[in-house]
Each structure stands twice: as structure tokens, then as C-alpha cells.
Chains A and B, each alone.
Chain A
Amino acid sequence: MGIIYLLILVSVALAIFFLVAFVWAIKSGQYEDDYTPSIRMLFDDEIKKENGEI
């Protein structure tokens, strides 16, 4: 039965890890703009270079 202590503690620790990750995500402003990054990733590197040469 002793293993149950370890299992519970591991599961709580895991959950705490995700909670910390969530808080970090909020604090770093990831939820403030949920639209722009989806567009930004479409900007191709290649085209940027092409423009850079002009």
C-alpha cells in the first residue's frame, strides 16, 4: 500500500508543474494576443531575404 503515497505525491507534483507553466504563460502575455502569432508564422524566411536584398 506504501506505493500509493508516492503515486499521489508524483501526481500532485506533476499537476503543480503544469500549474506553474500556466501561470508563466499568463504572465508572459501569451493569452493577450491569440491572433497575430498565427499569422506571423506564415511569413516565410525566404521572402524576407528577397526583400532584404532590395
Chain B
Amino acid sequence: MVYQIINENGLDNYYSIEDKPGIKPAEKNAKFNFLKNEELAGSLLEFQSEQTNNISLFLPQIHCSSCIWLLENLPKLHKGVTYAQVNFVSRNAYVSYNPKDISLYELSVLLDSIGYPPVFEKKKKAEKTINKSLLIKLGVTGFCFGNIMLLSFPEYLGLKDDVSEPVKQFMQVLIFVLSIPIITYTALDYLKSGLKSIRAGAFNIDVPISIGILTLYIKSTYDILALNNASYMDSFAGFIFFLLIGKWFQSKTYSSLSFERDYKSYFPIGVTKLKEGKEEIIGLDEIEIEDEISIKNEEIIPADALLLNDFAQIDYSFVTGESTPVSINKNDKIFAGGKLIGTAINIKVLSSVKQSYLTHLWNQDTFKKQESKYAQISNVLSKRFTIGVIVIAIISAVSWLFIDTTKIIDIVVSVLIVACPCALALAVPFTFGTVMRFYGKRKFYIKNIFVIERLSRITDIVFDKTGTITQTDKDSIEFTGDQLTSIELDCIGSLVKQSSHVLSKSIYHSITINNTLNVSSYKEEIGKGISGLIDGKHTLKIGSSDYLNIESTKEETAVHVSINNEYKGKFIFSNTYKVGIASLIHNLKKDAALHVLSGDNESERENLEELFAQKEQLNFNQQPLDKLTYIKNLQEQGKSVMMVGDGLNDAGALKQSDVGIVVTENTFNFTPSSDGIIEANSLIDLDKIIRSSKKSIVILAICYAFSICYNVVGLCFAVSGNLTPLIAAILMPLSSIFIVVLSTLLVSRSFQKHYPKKDKSSSNKN
């Protein structure tokens, strides 16, 4: 069945493309204009030659299996495309094309016309290679571990005497050879990190691990080469293997999400510069002060500038969170980050991209979050642990001085070996890694596992209003005034239909219209209102209070209407709050103090006061910098702050906060850099998220307790001088496996209990 649907969808899509002209008129695709600049386009390519160009394109619109089908059939749509391969998981398409037949610009336009506008971003590739090398290390270690264990089998089964001496020797040497790749390649990261940490005067978990690894390895090498005895190499290999598995488990990343975007992701890669009447496309970095730049509809202003045209409407929702567009007149200043709505304008640049108000905010030094501030629990523990182990080693050495001096070295070595905190090192990755996966299933994606720890310590939660707790683009519109007749409604509808203003459009969609009437002498005074003669009978004026010459003192977003010079009333725009937000706030209040920072005016104060059941800590007219300082002040009071926001205007606050969470309708939208991304529908689970993060800390503590128990048992063997390679080979993997199972089980149970799955079928494919 599914198969059929795929094909039908695919076919339908295919036909619809064939009907359309391959490439739409160029003006509509102004957003790709920068690709006409060969240098810029070239920098995006992965491979370039005369015959073939290869590029990896990020297509956020890929969402179903027929998308794959359609995109992989791209060569059939245009003969210039020679090859296309889709990576569904990361929403990428790898395309090879012949630059003689199709340019990158044309390719982008083609993709846009079939519904997959490519998003160009300069990407970092480092992460993928890290993941690859970790997998290779895991493979190599697994191979060595398995073979060493196989060769140690005679030892495990007590067949020592059945194996002849030369065979035994051969096996031991082979074990030693197999251990070489581990110590020189796969375990090297731990040793390096341990050494670095000692040099820095700190003790992270890698210090006791390195001590354990080295003693194990040196002792085993000595046993094999000098004494020709059974060695601890199997424990050694197993230890590294488990550590790497833990590392792999916690390195789960959401490859299609980006948590580290900088301001450049928001801006176009190139802009159109006007030079002596000619248009020229230049890169963002090449913009200079005094340059004249042409901005098209829906384009983002790249730098602070002066408007050269008479009038423009700028949507600053990115910057200020204010949802209503702002009108700008000639020679007024436009701030970078605003989006142009309406016809193309020319602007004169006042400051370079980096120095603009918004980008300046992004680059503030305070944002360099000191990770050390959030000293991980394991680091604190490992310091005490290392000291404890050394003390025990010394004590046992001293006491054996009186029992049997020949055994002292053996005892100290076995204490150091058995105290190797493998289980301890696994507790964090497996507990938090499992929590992270559970969050992911519930559409809450976090940057890394350390966010969970910070999440559990949150004392204050700060909300941005627009788009976070209110529905975006779904303002509720209410008419107050005289009751409108259906003819009057028709008149209003017919008039506002003529205007492309956002508010006009909203009104048009909110009222019921029976007939569209004829509009004559239509006039639009930009930024003020519209008027016209409807059906030749009624003169209508719709617009601001100034436009209609009436007095209005209330702070609200309203559009007034008069018909035949008689004032009828006004449309009031107010926000609708997300469903379930009230109960979320109620639940959150038990755990943390709540704050609201809104970029909008105070018109919503009453509603918010009611919603939050508090009068304080609701702040309006907040500029991006105000939000940042607000969070900073809270932190200076010793509070741990979570910021929940959505736009670029919250970017500073998100970075400053201890946990910055971005709310988004679509996870593939641009989101400012943050610690976590949550889908708008899952926001109502925020209380459960915080509660489960607290639970996971408790689970971690339980795991620590168990792993320390294991270490105590092991130390008993070591101190009493009974630690044989066989006991080590049993005890060490057993404790590791036990911790892995325990942490995973406890987390799953707590999630199922406190955070029941709502939608089983929509498992996520990240």
C-alpha cells in the first residue's frame, strides 16, 4: 500500500512539474541573486571543474519518501544535472551538474520551483569526521578485545596445563601484538586528556582512567614479555571498549539540527550593490560603509543603513519580537536584521556587517559560556576518587610491609588496576544519553548531554512572549463598535483585499464576505491607511487613528473603520496563547520562578497577569540588550536561568542563560544558537522535561553508589592480594555492564511513569 502511495505521490509531483515552465521569471527568485557572483557560488561547491561541479545542498523541505524520489530524478528534469543523491536524515542532496548547461543559480531556481528552496550556509565539517574516527576506533578496539578474549580462553577454562608451553607463549605474544593498536591508537585520547588535565591542575575523570590504563598495560606487558605469565590484557581491552561505547552512546547528535548558528546564517550570503547605476553582486564581508545596496522583497537588511527611497516597511520580528511591521521614511535609519516587506528599496550602508547593532550583540564576549562553570558531577567525584585510591594504595603498601615485603608492588598495582573507574565513567554517558534519546522522541532536542545537568538546577524560567507562549501569525482579531451588516462587511472585505499590508490581509481572512464588490478610486497612504469608493456608493476609510482623525490613547494594535464618514469601530488585534500553556505555567510555578520578557507593548499586560497569576516580573518593551541584561542580573543574584525564546531578538538572552531553549514550529527553521530546540507543540511538556532532568540526577547518583560498591569489592580482592587476571576479567566487565543496564532501565522506567508517551507512531528519524 505504502509503496503505491509513494509512487502515486511521486508521479503526481512529476506531472505538476512538467506542466510548469522549468524556470520561473528571475525577479521572483531574487533571493538567489548572489549565486550569479561566480566567486561566491564557487566557494559553496565541493568540487569544481569545467565539466562537472559537485555541491551538497541543504534542502530543509525534504520530508517524505517521494521527496527522495523526485530529487533523485532531477537529472530527468534538466539535462545539465548529471547525478543527484539524497541524504534524508540530514536533509541534504548531493548534486553533480555540468556548469555549461546549468549554473548554480539556475539549479537553485529549479529546486525552488519544485518546492525545495536550497538554504546556503557555510558549514563546518569537523563533527562528521569525529564521529567517523570514533566508529573506527570502536571497530578496532572491538576486534582486538574479541581476539584477546578468544586467546585468553584456556586461562578462563583452567586449561593451563593442557596447553603446551610453546603454544601458550605464542598466544601470549599474539595477545601482546593485539594490544598494541589499543594503547597507541584507540586509548590515546584518554591518556592525552588525562595528562592535559593534570597539567592544568584539574582532575577530570580521565585522570584515574589513565592511571588505571597505564598500570594495567605496563603490568601486563611485563607479565607477558618477562615472566611469560597470563596477563590482564583482556581486562585492559574490554575496559577501553566499554569506554568507547559510552562515548559513542553520548555522542548522539541530531545531524539535521544546528545549535551553533551565528548571525551570518540569517543574512543573505551576497547582496546587490549599486555602483554607478549598475547592479553588482558582492559577498557579505565586502560590504563597505557608504555602499548603496538594493534590497528586494523578503530580503534581510545586512547592515545598519539609511533608507534612500521614500518609504519602506520593515518586519523587525527577528530583532525585537514585535510582530507588526514598522514603517520607515526617507533618511530614517534601518537596523540590520529587519526584513523588507513590499517593493524593492535602496539603502545606504552606515556600518559594516560586523559592527551593526544586532551582530554586535551576537559577538559580545559575555557569550563565551564558561563550560568550566558547570563543573560536571563526575569531575568533582573523580578528584576525590583519585585521591582516595592513592591513599588506599599507600595504606595497603604500608600494611603489607609487615606481612610480606615481596608482594608490595603486586598489591599496589592491583589496587590501581581494580580501582579504574570504568563503571563510574560509564554512568554519565549512559544515564544522560538515554535521557537525551527520550527527549528526542518527545521533540525536544538538546545540544549535548551536559545540558541535562544544568536543566536540573534551573531556578528561574524566563519566557519570551511572541511566538513562545503565543501562537505566531494567529492573532485573534475582534471587532468592537457598531454591529456591522453583511453589506458593510462586504465593503470592508473588498477594500482590504486591495492592500498588501499585513494587517489588511489579517482582517480579510478574519471576516466573512459574501460578495466581492467593485472598488473605485482606491488610495493607499502608506503607513496610515486605505480608502476607496465601494460599489459607487460607500466611501470607506480604514486605517490608524491618525488617518481617521480620531483620538486613541489606548496602547493596542487596532485598525479603525469609517463608512460614509461615520465611525463604525475598530478591529483589535490581540495574541492568542498556545493551548495548554495555562496548565504548564501552573505546573512550572511549583518548581521555578517565572518571568516574561516581551518586545511588544503593554497591551497584553492584563491577559498575561491573568495567565501567570502574578503581577511582577512581567516586562514589556524589551529590546534585545534589555533581555540580555535582565538574565545577567538574575544570574548575579545566584540564580540559574532558563530562557525560552524563539527569535533572533532573544539570541543574546539565549546565549547568556544557563539553558537557552528555542521554540520552533519547524525544527528545520533557522534557530539562534541555543542549548536545546523544542517543537512548539511539545512546549507544554516543559514541566515534565525539567522534572525528569532532576530525576536523572538521582538515577546518576544511584549508579555512582553501585559503581563505588563494585570498586570496594574489587579493592578487597586487591588489598588482600587475591586479584588474579581471571578475577579482574570477570569483575571489571561485569560492573560496566551492570551500570549500563541499571542506568538505562531506571531512566526508561522513570520516563514511562512520569512522562507517558503521547504519540507512539510518530517516532523521530533524526
Contact = CB atoms under 8 A, between A and B. Distances in A.
B143 to A, nearest CB: 4
Interface in B550-566: none
A4 B153 CA distance: 14
B140 A19 contact: yes
A35 B7 contact: no
Interface in A19-40: 19, 22-23, 26-27, 31-36, 39-40
Contacts, number: 76
Shortest 8 CB-CB distances between A and B: which pairs?
A36-B88, A33-B87, A19-B143, A39-B65, A22-B139, A35-B88, A26-B135, A33-B89
A47 B14 CA distance: 12
A8 B88 contact: no
Given A42-B6, A51-B11, A36 B68 contact: yes
Given A8-B170, A15-B146, A31-B135, A43 B69 contact: yes
B76 A52 contact: yes
A35 B10 CA distance: 18
Nearest to A27: B132
A4 B162 CA distance: 13
A43 B147 contact: no
B14 A51 contact: yes
B150 A11 contact: yes
B13 to A, nearest CB: 11
A32 B128 contact: yes
B65 A54 contact: no
B548 interface: no
Interface of A: 1, 4-5, 8, 11-12, 15-16, 18-19, 22-23, 26-27, 31-36, 39-40, 42-44, 47-48, 51-52, 54
Contact of B87 (A19, A36, A52): A36
Contacts of A19: 139-140, 143
A6 to B, nearest CB: 11
A34 to B, nearest CB: 7
A35 B763 CA distance: 14
B174 A48 contact: no
Nearest to A48: B73
Interface in B101-141: 128, 132, 135-136, 139-140
A22 B140 CA distance: 9
A8 B390 CA distance: 40
10 contacts: A5-B170, A18-B143, A23-B136, A26-B139, A27-B136, A32-B128, A39-B88, A42-B3, A43-B69, A51-B14
B372 interface: no
Given A1-B164, A12-B147, A26-B132, A40 B174 contact: no
A40 B150 contact: no
Given A12-B174, A27-B132, A35-B88, A51 B140 contact: no
Contacts of B90: 32-33
B245 interface: no
Contacts of A26: 132, 135-136, 139
Contacts of B128: 32
Contacts of B143: 15-16, 18-19
Contact of A35 (B14, B72, B73, B89): B89
Nearest to B67: A39
Nearest to B134: A26
B254 to A, nearest CB: 14
B361 to A, nearest CB: 36
A19 to B, nearest CB: 4
Contacts of A18: 143
Contacts of B167: 1, 4-5
B630 to A, nearest CB: 42
A46 to B, nearest CB: 10
Nearest to B139: A22
Contacts of A43: 10, 69, 72
Given A34-B89, A35-B88, A36-B86, A8 B151 contact: yes
A19 B679 CA distance: 40
A5 B166 CA distance: 10
Nearest to A5: B170
A35 B85 CA distance: 13
Contact of B68 (A11, A15, A16, A40): A40
Contacts of A5: 167, 170
B171 interface: yes
Contacts of A22: 139
A46 B69 CA distance: 14
Nearest to A52: B76
B132 A47 contact: no
A12 B170 CA distance: 13
A51 B76 contact: yes
B670 to A, nearest CB: 23
Contacts of B146: 15
B125 to A, nearest CB: 12
Nearest to A21: B139
A17 B220 CA distance: 27
Contacts of B68: 36, 39-40
A33 B487 CA distance: 59
A34 B88 CA distance: 9
